[in-house]
A and B are shown apart, each in its own frame.
Chain A
Amino acid sequence: AQTVTQSQPEMSVQEAETVTLSCTYDTSESDYYLFWYKQPPSRQMILVIRQEAYKQQNATENRFSVNFQKAAKSFSLKISDSQLGDAAMYFCAYLSGTYKYIFGTGTRLKVLA
Protein backbone atom coordinates (compact mmCIF):
# COMPACT_ATOMS: atom_id res chain seq x y z
CA ALA A 1 0.00 0.00 0.00
CA GLN A 2 1.13 3.50 -0.72
CA THR A 3 2.17 5.64 2.22
CA VAL A 4 3.29 9.23 2.62
CA THR A 5 5.49 10.29 5.53
CA GLN A 6 6.21 13.79 6.75
CA SER A 7 8.68 13.46 9.57
CA GLN A 8 8.66 17.11 10.67
CA PRO A 9 5.53 17.93 12.68
CA GLU A 10 6.61 21.55 12.99
CA MET A 11 9.17 23.86 11.42
CA SER A 12 10.09 27.49 11.98
CA VAL A 13 11.72 29.92 9.60
CA GLN A 14 12.73 33.52 9.85
CA GLU A 15 10.98 35.89 7.49
CA ALA A 16 12.88 36.21 4.17
CA GLU A 17 14.84 33.01 4.85
CA THR A 18 14.56 29.65 3.11
CA VAL A 19 13.01 26.52 4.57
CA THR A 20 12.71 22.96 3.30
CA LEU A 21 9.88 20.63 4.24
CA SER A 22 10.50 16.90 3.87
CA CYS A 23 8.27 14.22 2.44
CA THR A 24 8.93 10.60 1.62
CA TYR A 25 6.58 8.09 0.10
CA ASP A 26 6.40 4.43 -0.58
CA THR A 27 4.94 2.93 -3.74
CA SER A 28 5.47 0.16 -6.23
CA GLU A 29 3.88 2.13 -9.05
CA SER A 30 5.91 3.86 -11.73
CA ASP A 31 3.37 6.44 -12.81
CA TYR A 32 1.99 8.80 -10.21
CA TYR A 33 1.74 12.44 -9.20
CA LEU A 34 2.91 14.27 -6.12
CA PHE A 35 1.49 17.44 -4.64
CA TRP A 36 2.08 19.91 -1.88
CA TYR A 37 -1.04 21.46 -0.39
CA LYS A 38 -1.20 24.36 2.05
CA GLN A 39 -3.84 24.68 4.75
CA PRO A 40 -3.86 28.14 6.37
CA PRO A 41 -5.83 28.83 9.57
CA SER A 42 -8.90 29.47 7.41
CA ARG A 43 -8.88 25.67 6.79
CA GLN A 44 -9.09 26.12 3.03
CA MET A 45 -6.71 23.69 1.37
CA ILE A 46 -4.78 25.24 -1.50
CA LEU A 47 -2.59 23.52 -4.06
CA VAL A 48 0.97 24.84 -3.88
CA ILE A 49 2.80 22.76 -6.45
CA ARG A 50 2.58 19.46 -8.32
CA GLN A 51 5.13 17.07 -9.81
CA GLU A 52 4.65 14.36 -12.41
CA ALA A 53 6.71 11.30 -11.57
CA TYR A 54 7.77 10.78 -15.17
CA LYS A 55 9.33 14.24 -15.34
CA GLN A 56 12.91 14.53 -14.14
CA GLN A 57 12.81 18.29 -13.95
CA ASN A 58 11.80 19.64 -10.57
CA ALA A 59 8.62 21.72 -10.51
CA THR A 60 8.83 25.40 -9.60
CA GLU A 61 6.12 27.91 -8.78
CA ASN A 62 7.50 31.34 -7.93
CA ARG A 63 9.07 31.05 -4.45
CA PHE A 64 8.12 27.39 -4.16
CA SER A 65 10.18 24.59 -5.64
CA VAL A 66 10.52 20.88 -5.10
CA ASN A 67 13.42 18.47 -4.92
CA PHE A 68 12.08 15.28 -6.42
CA GLN A 69 14.28 12.23 -6.00
CA LYS A 70 12.35 9.37 -7.57
CA ALA A 71 14.79 6.62 -6.70
CA ALA A 72 14.88 7.73 -3.08
CA LYS A 73 11.10 8.33 -3.10
CA SER A 74 11.64 11.76 -1.68
CA PHE A 75 9.68 14.93 -2.48
CA SER A 76 10.73 17.95 -0.46
CA LEU A 77 9.33 21.47 -0.72
CA LYS A 78 11.58 24.49 -0.60
CA ILE A 79 10.13 27.88 0.23
CA SER A 80 12.42 30.78 -0.57
CA ASP A 81 12.11 34.31 0.81
CA SER A 82 9.58 33.14 3.38
CA GLN A 83 6.70 35.48 4.08
CA LEU A 84 4.34 35.74 7.03
CA GLY A 85 1.52 34.54 4.79
CA ASP A 86 3.35 31.26 4.27
CA ALA A 87 2.52 30.21 7.81
CA ALA A 88 0.23 27.19 7.51
CA MET A 89 0.01 23.43 7.62
CA TYR A 90 1.65 21.88 4.60
CA PHE A 91 0.56 18.48 3.36
CA CYS A 92 2.40 16.29 0.94
CA ALA A 93 0.08 14.16 -1.20
CA TYR A 94 0.42 11.23 -3.56
CA LEU A 95 -2.05 10.50 -6.32
CA SER A 96 -2.00 6.83 -7.12
CA GLY A 97 -3.10 4.80 -10.06
CA THR A 98 -6.31 4.10 -8.19
CA TYR A 99 -6.93 7.87 -8.24
CA LYS A 100 -6.91 8.00 -4.50
CA TYR A 101 -5.16 10.93 -2.91
CA ILE A 102 -2.97 9.85 0.01
CA PHE A 103 -1.83 12.60 2.35
CA GLY A 104 0.93 12.84 4.89
CA THR A 105 0.28 13.99 8.46
CA GLY A 106 1.37 17.51 7.69
CA THR A 107 4.07 19.96 8.79
CA ARG A 108 3.11 23.11 10.62
CA LEU A 109 5.24 25.99 9.37
CA LYS A 110 5.75 29.02 11.56
CA VAL A 111 7.22 32.17 10.06
CA LEU A 112 8.99 34.43 12.53
CA ALA A 113 9.02 38.18 11.97
Chain B
Amino acid sequence: EAGVTQSPTHLIKTRGQQATLRCSPISGHTSVYWYQQALGLGLQFLLWYDEGEERNRGNFPPRFSGRQFPNYSSELNVNALELEDSALYLCASSSGVQLMNTEAFFGQGTRLTVV
Protein backbone atom coordinates (compact mmCIF):
# COMPACT_ATOMS: atom_id res chain seq x y z
CA GLU B 1 0.00 0.00 0.00
CA ALA B 2 1.36 3.41 -0.95
CA GLY B 3 2.11 5.80 1.87
CA VAL B 4 1.56 9.53 1.95
CA THR B 5 3.23 11.08 -1.07
CA GLN B 6 4.29 14.67 -1.43
CA SER B 7 5.49 16.56 -4.46
CA PRO B 8 7.77 18.08 -5.30
CA THR B 9 10.55 16.88 -3.04
CA HIS B 10 12.42 20.14 -3.40
CA LEU B 11 11.23 23.54 -4.55
CA ILE B 12 13.23 26.71 -5.05
CA LYS B 13 11.39 29.99 -5.47
CA THR B 14 12.25 33.66 -5.35
CA ARG B 15 10.75 36.20 -2.99
CA GLY B 16 7.28 37.31 -4.00
CA GLN B 17 6.52 34.21 -6.05
CA GLN B 18 3.88 31.62 -5.29
CA ALA B 19 4.54 28.02 -4.32
CA THR B 20 2.18 25.07 -4.66
CA LEU B 21 2.81 21.90 -2.70
CA ARG B 22 0.84 18.71 -3.19
CA CYS B 23 -0.06 15.79 -0.96
CA SER B 24 -1.73 12.47 -1.66
CA PRO B 25 -2.98 10.73 1.49
CA ILE B 26 -3.06 7.03 2.15
CA SER B 27 -5.97 5.37 0.39
CA GLY B 28 -9.04 5.54 2.61
CA HIS B 29 -7.80 8.44 4.70
CA THR B 30 -10.00 11.50 4.65
CA SER B 31 -7.98 13.84 6.87
CA VAL B 32 -4.93 15.75 5.71
CA TYR B 33 -2.72 17.88 7.93
CA TRP B 34 -0.07 20.36 6.84
CA TYR B 35 2.88 21.35 9.03
CA GLN B 36 5.80 23.69 8.62
CA GLN B 37 9.08 22.49 10.06
CA ALA B 38 11.49 25.37 10.15
CA LEU B 39 14.92 24.83 11.64
CA GLY B 40 14.74 24.73 15.43
CA LEU B 41 11.03 25.39 15.61
CA GLY B 42 9.60 21.89 15.57
CA LEU B 43 6.38 21.25 13.70
CA GLN B 44 4.09 24.22 13.39
CA PHE B 45 0.50 23.34 12.56
CA LEU B 46 -0.72 24.99 9.37
CA LEU B 47 -3.99 23.46 8.19
CA TRP B 48 -6.26 20.51 8.70
CA TYR B 49 -8.71 19.26 6.06
CA ASP B 50 -11.25 16.53 6.44
CA GLU B 51 -13.88 15.40 3.97
CA GLY B 52 -13.07 18.32 1.71
CA GLU B 53 -13.49 21.01 4.33
CA GLU B 54 -11.01 23.12 6.24
CA ARG B 55 -11.49 22.07 9.87
CA ASN B 56 -8.81 24.03 11.60
CA ARG B 57 -6.09 26.50 10.88
CA GLY B 58 -2.86 27.38 12.63
CA ASN B 59 -1.49 30.81 13.40
CA PHE B 60 -0.24 31.66 9.91
CA PRO B 61 -1.02 34.63 7.66
CA PRO B 62 -3.73 34.34 4.97
CA ARG B 63 -1.15 33.98 2.23
CA PHE B 64 -0.91 30.37 3.40
CA SER B 65 -3.94 28.61 2.00
CA GLY B 66 -4.96 25.26 0.70
CA ARG B 67 -7.70 22.98 -0.35
CA GLN B 68 -8.70 19.35 -0.37
CA PHE B 69 -10.01 17.71 -3.49
CA PRO B 70 -12.83 15.14 -3.80
CA ASN B 71 -10.23 12.35 -3.91
CA TYR B 72 -8.88 13.71 -0.56
CA SER B 73 -5.58 14.84 -2.00
CA SER B 74 -4.57 18.29 -0.91
CA GLU B 75 -2.73 21.35 -2.06
CA LEU B 76 -0.91 23.95 0.01
CA ASN B 77 -0.42 27.34 -1.60
CA VAL B 78 1.93 29.98 -0.29
CA ASN B 79 1.60 33.38 -1.92
CA ALA B 80 3.98 36.31 -1.85
CA LEU B 81 6.83 34.14 -0.63
CA GLU B 82 9.16 35.51 2.02
CA LEU B 83 12.63 34.31 2.94
CA GLU B 84 11.37 33.00 6.30
CA ASP B 85 8.97 30.67 4.50
CA SER B 86 11.97 28.47 3.75
CA ALA B 87 11.27 25.23 5.59
CA LEU B 88 10.32 21.60 5.28
CA TYR B 89 6.59 21.25 4.73
CA LEU B 90 5.16 18.00 5.96
CA CYS B 91 1.83 16.51 5.08
CA ALA B 92 0.16 13.85 7.18
CA SER B 93 -3.01 11.86 6.70
CA SER B 94 -5.25 9.98 9.07
CA SER B 95 -8.54 8.17 9.09
CA GLY B 96 -10.48 11.27 9.95
CA VAL B 97 -12.78 12.40 12.68
CA GLN B 98 -14.43 9.05 13.15
CA LEU B 99 -11.50 7.65 15.05
CA MET B 100 -10.13 9.66 17.90
CA ASN B 101 -6.99 7.63 18.39
CA THR B 102 -6.00 7.54 14.79
CA GLU B 103 -2.33 7.56 13.95
CA ALA B 104 -1.07 10.19 11.55
CA PHE B 105 1.06 8.96 8.68
CA PHE B 106 3.54 11.43 7.29
CA GLY B 107 4.96 12.06 3.88
CA GLN B 108 8.64 12.78 3.41
CA GLY B 109 8.02 16.46 2.98
CA THR B 110 8.72 19.20 0.48
CA ARG B 111 11.81 21.29 1.12
CA LEU B 112 10.92 24.83 0.09
CA THR B 113 13.77 27.27 -0.33
CA VAL B 114 13.03 30.94 -0.93
CA VAL B 115 15.90 32.97 -2.32
Interface pair B48/A95, CB less than 8 Å apart = no
> Could you say which of A42, A45, A98 has the most chain B C-beta atoms within 10 Å of its C-beta?
A45
Contacting B at CB under 8 A, from A30-53, are: 31, 33, 35, 37, 42-45, 47, 50, 52
In the assembled complex, the Cα of A45 lies from the Cα of B4 at a distance in Å of: 11
**Would you call B12 an interface residue if the criterion is a C-beta within 8 Å of the partner chain's C-beta atoms?**
no
Tell me the total A-B contact number using a CB cutoff of 8 A. 56
Q: Mark B82-93, 1 if CB is under 8 A from A, else 0.
A: 000000101010
Contacting A at CB under 8 A, from B26-70, are: 31, 33, 35, 40-43, 45, 48, 50, 55-56
**Would you call A68 an interface residue if the criterion is a C-beta within 8 Å of the partner chain's C-beta atoms?**
no
Q: Within the complex, which residue of A47, A98, A105 is in contact with B103, where a contact is CB–CB below 8 Å? A: A47
Of all chain A residues, the one with the shortest Cβ separation from B55 is: A99
The count of chain A contact residues (Cβ–Cβ below 8 Å) is 24
Interface pair A91/B31, CB less than 8 Å apart = no
Q: Mark A94-113, 1 if CB is under 8 A from B, else 0.
A: 01001111111110000000
In the assembled complex, the Cα of A33 lies from the Cα of B101 at a distance in Å of: 6
- Provide the residues of chain A in CB contact with B48, threshold 8 Å: 99-100
Interface pair B92/A91, CB less than 8 Å apart = no
The count of chain B contact residues (Cβ–Cβ below 8 Å) is 23
Interface pair B100/A104, CB less than 8 Å apart = no
- Provide the residues of chain B in CB contact with A101, threshold 8 Å: 33, 45, 92, 104
With contact pairs A43-B88, A44-B106 given, residues A106 and B100 touching in the complex (Cβ less than 8 Å): no
Interface pair A95/B108, CB less than 8 Å apart = no
Can you list 15 residue pairs at the A/B interface with Cβ under 8 Å? A31-B100, A33-B101, A35-B103, A37-B106, A43-B88, A44-B106, A45-B90, A50-B101, A99-B48, A101-B33, A101-B45, A102-B45, A103-B42, A105-B40, A106-B43
Given contacts A42-B108, A98-B55, 20 further A-B contacts (CB under 8 A): A6-B42, A33-B100, A37-B106, A43-B88, A43-B108, A44-B106, A45-B104, A47-B104, A50-B101, A52-B101, A91-B42, A95-B101, A99-B31, A100-B48, A100-B55, A100-B56, A101-B104, A103-B35, A103-B43, A105-B42
